[in-house]
Structure 1
């Protein structure tokens, strides 16, 4: 469904030469698969997703969707961002139906499809509410329903739950897994949360820090629906955390200096002055 072959991307910054955001990135996502990308901030996860969506162009390499080279945005791919992006002057129903209106469907058709997707995210009682009357979690449910209403082949999700509290996030993770099981959409999911990635995915791809590359792949072999109590989930979460430790240390050293290091989930400074040690 998605084929990434030797993709590279660089950017220019003021007072700085071009820096390489992505370098020789290659991986594939099969039809109906749920794959997550995790990695330190600045490793190019969102840039890669934007290129798959067609919002940005790769400098090198090829990105193909359904066997066709990506040349721009298309109806086969819909993005769900961290910010819900709802229209404040439209109700829940009209927000979900908005894209269908752009496609020229009749009011009856688009409302029928929108109502079906609103039901899927458990918001049937709120179809006449406006965004300012909804909680953060409810707004993100509307954004997911709006994406599903377009019936894309692929959902590209860029940290969609990052701004939510832990309890709401956990509920939406379960809802998304149920939706994926029901629809079998192909999902590429970006997150900083390792547990979230493991709980949702068939595979987790770990990216290295700049330049961003695929460092390692982890297959989630736990039975669906994934359970937080499953020893396989805990083991995999631990292995991915371990794999990311070196990358996080590189980021910390770049930001704070070479004397800093990450050791067993703490920051430590090799110094005779022990003030703040282990913070």
Structure 2
């Protein structure tokens, strides 16, 4: 469904010319697959997502969706951002129905479609509430419902749970997995969190430090619905940490100097869940 072929992206800098954010990235995502991009801060994960969404161009290579070159945004792709981006003056129902209104769908029909997705994310009791009356997790549920209401083939999710507390995040992992299993949407998911990537994904694609390239891919062949205690989950998580250690060392040396050295046991599974998030 998504074909990224030898893509390169540079950004101009005010002080010193330009820098390469993405270099020779190639990736195929099949229809109905859940794929996560994982890597240190600044590796270009969100840049890849924005290019697939058609929000950013690229300098070399091609990006195709269903065999058609991406030249801009399309109704077949909807983005869920880290910030919920709900309109504060609209209720949950009107926020979820907003895109349908823009498409000219009659009021009764768009409200029915919106309520169907509000039920999917378990917000039926809050359909008449405004964003300031919701918790962070509820706001992200509403944002996901708004995306689903547009019935896109592809969901592009850019660290949608990064700002949430751990308990809320775990609940939303389960809910997103249920939604994905029910709808069969193709999902490209951006995260810093190793556990999140492994729990949710069919494949985890690890990116290197800038310029971002694909360092390694990991298939997560664990049963669904996923269980945190599954030994397969822990095995894949440990393998990803080993690959990321070298990339994290590069990032830290850039910040702290070449004298810094990262030892294999310098970070535990828990401390490494969010790789590079605070660097």
Give the secondary-structure state (helix, strand or coil) at the position aligned to 1:263: coil
Which residue is equivalent to 1:239? 239
Give 1:1-279 correspondences, 5 Å limit: 1-266=1-266
Aligned-partner Cα distance in 1 for 2:16–2:172: 41
| Root-mean-square deviation over aligned CA pairs | 0.8
Q: CA deviation at 1:48?
A: 0.8
Runs of 4+ in 1 over 6 A off after TM superposition: none
Aligned-partner Cα distance in 1 for 2:143–2:262: 37
- The TM-score with structure 2 as length reference comes to 0.95
Aligned-partner Cα distance in 1 for 2:138–2:261: 40
Spell out, residue by residue over 1:225-271, the C-alpha distance to the aligned partner (whole angstroms, 9 max, x if none).
1110000000100100111010000000011100112113538xxxx
Give the secondary-structure state (helix, strand or coil) at the position aligned to 1:266: coil
Give the secondary-structure state (helix, strand or coil) at the position aligned to 1:10: strand
Spell out, residue by residue over 1:157-197, the C-alpha distance to the aligned partner (whole angstroms, 9 max, x if none).
00000000000000001000000000000000000000000
- Unaligned regions of 5+ residues in structure 1, if any? 268-279
Aligned-partner Cα distance in 2 for 1:179–1:45: 23
Query: What is the count of residue pairs matched by the alignment?
Result: 267
Rg comparison, structure with higher value: 1
Give the secondary-structure state (helix, strand or coil) at the position aligned to 1:62: strand
Aligned-partner Cα distance in 1 for 2:151–2:265: 42
